[in-house]
Structure 1
């Protein structure tokens, strides 16, 4: 892709291994959350439910909120302006 006559790199270039590692870690958290529901019974319902909810919440919240912050519009605009100067 070209911007102002300069070749700009793809945003995900060179991050394949890190993306795969992150996917494996957070998929394992999600799978562990589903696995804990196997211990759910009418006598013991609170602990498996709370643990499952916590693991699944972490599996979605960490990548969505913490790791996605590098892609804020303000950061992208600031980086583009700094790159032009």
Structure 2
């Protein structure tokens, strides 16, 4: 990506700590979902299953849908094509 005629890199923007904290939070939620399945029995199947489903939803859906890039691919392509004109 170019800005003012110079190539701009997106690495090293100072988001390492935030990325690590986010990863740890959602990884713990995923591990908690696996741990919830250890309480699953034929007499008590609903509560661990629903807990597992809720934690997996938190661990996968939240990062994929809420923490995504703010720009869509179409906006990036349009911005690049306008720059080349």
Q: 1:57: how far off?
A: 1.1
What are the equivalent positions in structure 2 for 1:3-82 lying under 5 Å apart?
Answer: 5-10=5-10, 13-74=13-74, 76=76
Shift in CA distance, 19/75, structure 1 to aligned 2, threshold 3 Å = farther
Runs (5+) with no aligned partner, structure 2: none
- Give 1 or 2: higher helix fraction: 1
How many residues in Structure 1 have an aligned counterpart in Structure 2? 84
1:27-47 CA distances to partner (integer Å, 9 max, x unpaired)? 010011110101000000011
Relative distance call for 1:67 and 1:18 in structure 2 (3 A) is: same
* TM-score, normalised relative to structure 2: 0.77
Question: What is the root-mean-square deviation of aligned Cα atoms in Å?
Answer: 2.9
Q: Structure 1 length normalisation: TM-score? A: 0.77
